[in-house]
Amino acid sequence: MSVPLKYFILKPLKVYVIDLKEWRYAFGNYFKIFSEDNNTWIVGFEDHNDFDYDEPRLEISLVDDYNVMIRGISYSGSYNNKLYYGNELIFYLKRGTYLNFGTKVVPVTLGLSDISAILLHLLQKITINVDTLATEYSIIGEIDTSTKTSPVKILTPPSGKKISTRGSYLFSDSDAGEVEMRYMNSGKLISKIYCSKFKVITLPEIHIDGEVDEPVGVYWNGLSTNSKITYVLNYKII
Q: Which residues pair with 89 in a beta bridge?
A: 84
Give 7-68 as a 3 state SS string.
Answer: HHHHCCEEEEECCCCEEEECCCCCEEEEEEECCEEEEEECCCCCCCCCCCEEEEEECCCCEE
The CATH number covering residue 156 comes to 2.60.120.1330
Q: Of 87, 111, 135, which residue constitutes the final position of a domain? A: 111
Q: Examine the domain organization and report whether 160 and 119 are in the same domain.
A: yes
Averaged pLDDT score across all residues of the chain: 85
Q: What is the pLDDT of residues 15-29, one digit of tens each?
A: 999 999 999 998 888
When divided into structural domains, the chain yields a total of: 2
The model's pTM is: 0.53
- DSSP code of residue 111: G
Residue 216 binned pLDDT confidence (cut-offs 50, 70, 90): very high
pLDDT greater than 80 at residue 60: yes
Q: Which of 215, 205, 213 is nearest to 169 (CA)?
A: 205
Q: Of 91, 111, 131, which residue constitutes the final position of a domain? A: 111
Q: Examine the domain organization and report whether 14 and 44 are in the same domain.
A: yes
pLDDT greater than 50 at residue 1: no
Q: Which residues pair with 77 in a beta bridge?
A: 96
Q: According to the model, what pLDDT value does residue 138 have?
A: 81
Which of the two residues, 212 and 108, has the higher pLDDT score? 212
**Pair 208, 130: CB distance under 8 Å:** no
Q: Examine the domain organization and report whether 224 and 121 are in the same domain.
A: yes
Q: Examine the domain organization and report whether 105 and 138 are in the same domain.
A: no
Residue 135 binned pLDDT confidence (cut-offs 50, 70, 90): low
Q: How far is CA 68 from CA 90, 111, 117, 202, 238, in A?
A: 12, 11, 13, 25, 38
Most confident of 4-8, 46-50, 169-173, 187-191: 187-191
- The residue range of the domain holding 196 is 114-237
Cα Rg of the chain (Å, integer): 21
Q: Of 62, 85, 111, which residue constitutes the final position of a domain? A: 111
Q: Examine the domain organization and report whether 60 and 79 are in the same domain.
A: yes
Q: Examine the domain organization and report whether 135 and 224 are in the same domain.
A: yes
